[in-house]
Amino acid sequence: MMPDDDFFQESLSGISASYLGVLYRFSVILNSTLDLKKTLEYLTNAVRDLINAERCVIDLREECCGIKRETFNFSAEHIKDLSETILKKVYETGDSLRLIDAQSHEEFRKKKSIKRLGIRSVLAVPIKWADDVIGVIYVDNKNVINAFSPEEERLLEALANVASVAIRNSRDYANLRQSLTDYKSTLSKGFFYTEEFLVISDKMKKIVDQIERIKDKDWINVLLIGETGVGKEVVARAIHAKSGRKDKLFNAVNCPNLQEELFESHLFGFKKGAFTGASKDHKGKIYAAEGGTVFLDEIGDLSLTLQAKFLKVLETGEIEVIGANKPIKIDVRFISATNKDIEEMIEEGLFREDLYYRLAGYVIEIPPLRERKEEIIPLANLFLAKFSPGGVIKGFTPGAKEKLLQYDYPGNVRELRDVVKRAVVLTDSDYITEKDIIFGRRKRKKKISMEDNLSLKDLEKIHIMQILEKTGWNMTSAAQILGITRQTLRNKIREYNLEKFKESSEI
């Protein structure tokens, strides 16, 4: 609410021209820089000129400003001696706090830091942006009781208002520069090999060299080996996109989903009238990819019966369409992928050696993400750009980046993508901070458990989001799984502001 004229009359009547001079100079000087540190330095100087304080701290919300705290007038090692309780109160209420004597104040005198430091006078005012408190200007005095007057409180508030605009401007400027530098450095270190395939590390550049070597020898079948989520499908698509087959289909077959009795109809297809219900010709996945590529995902999960069926296709180069009177020659390249140790499976009699040699004409082994850590931040930025609707979220705070770098990603790039997506859902600010980065720790087998410090609300938000994605935003099935009515689901979506993720959910 805007203060009225009486307010200004009453609270600023005692302010001398020299005070106004300081305020004026401060507002002018702020226009001369876009450097956040300088802005904060000017701000502290102005505070010093206006108010008789011993210490001054400008505390900023990390998620808003990218930096946490700037301390002036006292050295960095004393930073822990600040009363966090006072700051917290201002952040929570959005109101200024002026203590005449903290040592005898009902609420604060018991606080350890206030006792230990012997702080007497305190003045803390919020730096606001719209309804948000983005920071606090805090000053104190140890020896003097009642060191700060109500007029000084108003002055500091005026200063905070001017500073708020300047802080936001310099922060946005700094972030833009940072994004530009990040972008330049990403591009100087790496490149997009295809639209969806970012390559930064030497290890992945070697993979690209391998793709280059075989892309035109498209009679060679390729086997991709790598842990779950390393990017096997991305590489498979890249091989297809760079080969002479690029204008034909890339058809993916998920081997664990293949049913033995439907193998032929699913992969080869059938002729009209071949059986009851075959009302028209149907081309199966392999037949439809004629001239193109068939991607056999998770071949380690093929039963021995299906292995024999695939072997026949590879040996003869022919398929038997149901209802056709003779086999049909096909020209497709097979790229298969697995995260299993196929050679060990061969030794155990679980995988046919002859099929392996047919599929593994050329083998590419994709390294796990933890062995190419320099890709973590560029990939995280890429996913952020994809998931942040309208680019509302501008980046990661340094603390968040640090946290991303320290994890070892058993689920590799897919897991990093999911972590970024979850952070976008969870964050309330325009920067992703450390607390928004939540890893699913792997416990025994495949069970994933979330970090323990999530609130019930956050868990609910994440869970609803996951179910919506799983059901392709089908409200009826999502509500059914969640055990709530569609109306409740709709309310929750509104409450958590999830609607904006609908578009990016297909990625």
Ligand X SMILES: Nc1ncnc2c1ncn2[C@@H]1O[C@H](COP(=O)(O)OP(=O)(O)OP(=O)(O)O)[C@@H](O)[C@H]1O
Give residues in contact with ligand X (CB under 6 A): 196-198, 226, 228-234, 339, 379, 382, 413-414, 417
Find the binding residues for Mg ion in span 227-256 (CB under 5 A). 233
Q: Pick what 64 binds: Mg ion, ligand X, none; C-beta below 5 to 8 Å, kind-dependent.
A: none
Q: Pick what 339 binds: Mg ion, ligand X, none; C-beta below 5 to 8 Å, kind-dependent.
A: ligand X
Q: Which of 167/366 has CB closer to Mg ion?
A: 366
Number of residues engaging Mg ion in binding (CB under 5 A): 1
Q: Pick what 135 binds: ligand X, Mg ion, none; C-beta below 5 to 8 Å, kind-dependent.
A: none
Q: Pick what 413 binds: ligand X, Mg ion, none; C-beta below 5 to 8 Å, kind-dependent.
A: ligand X
Q: Phi first, then psi: what are they for 431, rounded to 5°?
A: -130, 140
Q: Which of 51/379 has CB closer to ligand X?
A: 379
Q: Which of 197/431 has CB closer to ligand X?
A: 197
Q: Pick what 179 binds: Mg ion, ligand X, none; C-beta below 5 to 8 Å, kind-dependent.
A: none
Q: Phi first, then psi: what are they for 230, rounded to 5°?
A: -75, -15
Cβ–Cβ < 8 Å for 86, 122: yes
Smallest distance, Å, CB 37 to ligand X? Answer: 35
Q: Which of 297/458 has CB closer to ligand X?
A: 297
User: Where do the DSSP E strands lie in 271-409?
Assistant: 282-283, 293-297, 318-319, 328-329, 333-338, 362-365, 395-396
Cβ–Cβ < 8 Å for 159, 50: yes
C-alpha distance from residue 315 to each of 287, 336, 358, 446 (Å): 16, 16, 8, 36
Q: Which helix (H) or strand (E) holds 5?
A: helix 5-12
Q: Pick what 234 binds: ligand X, Mg ion, none; C-beta below 5 to 8 Å, kind-dependent.
A: ligand X
DSSP, residue by residue, 78-115: GGGGS-HHHHHHHHHH-S-EEES-GGG-TTTTT-HHHH
Q: Phi first, then psi: what are they for 165, rounded to 5°?
A: -60, -45
Q: Residue of minimal CB distance from ligand X?
A: 231
Smallest distance, Å, CB 364 to Mg ion? Answer: 14
Q: Which of 413/498 has CB closer to ligand X?
A: 413
**What tokens were used for 377?**
């931040």
31: Cβ–Cβ under 8 A, 6 or more apart, which residues?
none
Q: Which of 42/334 has CB closer to ligand X?
A: 334
Q: Residues 297, 299, 302, CA angle at the centre, nearest 5°?
A: 125
Q: Pick what 240 binds: ligand X, Mg ion, none; C-beta below 5 to 8 Å, kind-dependent.
A: none
**Side chain identity, residue 455:** S
Smallest distance, Å, CB 420 to ligand X? Answer: 11
Q: Pick what 169 binds: ligand X, Mg ion, none; C-beta below 5 to 8 Å, kind-dependent.
A: none
Instruction: Report the alpha-carbon distance of residue 459 to residue 341 in Å, rounded.
Output: 36
Q: Does 375 bind Mg ion (CB under 5 A)?
A: no
Please state, as a whole number, how many other Cβ atoms lie within 10 Å of the Cβ of residue 470.
13
Smallest distance, Å, CB 353 to ligand X? Answer: 23
Smallest distance, Å, CB 227 to ligand X? Answer: 7
Q: Does 415 bind Mg ion (CB under 5 A)?
A: no
Cβ–Cβ < 8 Å for 369, 375: yes
Cβ–Cβ < 8 Å for 501, 393: no
Instruction: Report the alpha-carbon distance of residue 200 to residue 197 in Å, rounded.
Output: 10
Smallest distance, Å, CB 398 to ligand X? Answer: 23
Q: Residue of minimal CB distance from Mg ion?
A: 233
Q: Pick what 414 binds: ligand X, Mg ion, none; C-beta below 5 to 8 Å, kind-dependent.
A: ligand X
235 by Cβ neighbours in 10 Å (0-12 / 13-18 / 19+) ranks as: buried
Write the DSSP symbol of residue 318: E
Tell me the chain's radius of gyration from C-alpha atoms. Answer: 31
Q: Which of 52/254 has CB closer to Mg ion?
A: 254
Q: Pick what 49 binds: ligand X, Mg ion, none; C-beta below 5 to 8 Å, kind-dependent.
A: none
Smallest distance, Å, CB 226 to ligand X? Answer: 6
Smallest distance, Å, CB 232 to Mg ion? Answer: 5
Reduce the DSSP state of residue 488 to 3 states and report it.
helix
Smallest distance, Å, CB 98 to ligand X? Answer: 53
Q: Which of 33/339 has CB closer to ligand X?
A: 339
Q: Which of 218/233 has CB closer to Mg ion?
A: 233
Instruction: Report the alpha-carbon distance of residue 37 to residue 167 in Å, rounded.
Output: 9
Smallest distance, Å, CB 421 to ligand X? Answer: 10
Smallest distance, Å, CB 437 to ligand X? Answer: 17
Q: Pick what 258 binds: ligand X, Mg ion, none; C-beta below 5 to 8 Å, kind-dependent.
A: none
Tokens 């075959």 correspond to what residue? 278
From the list 101-109, 225-233, 358-366, 389-397, the region that binds Mg ion by CB under 5 A is: 225-233
Q: Which of 103/228 has CB closer to ligand X?
A: 228
Residues that bind Mg ion (CB under 5 A): 233
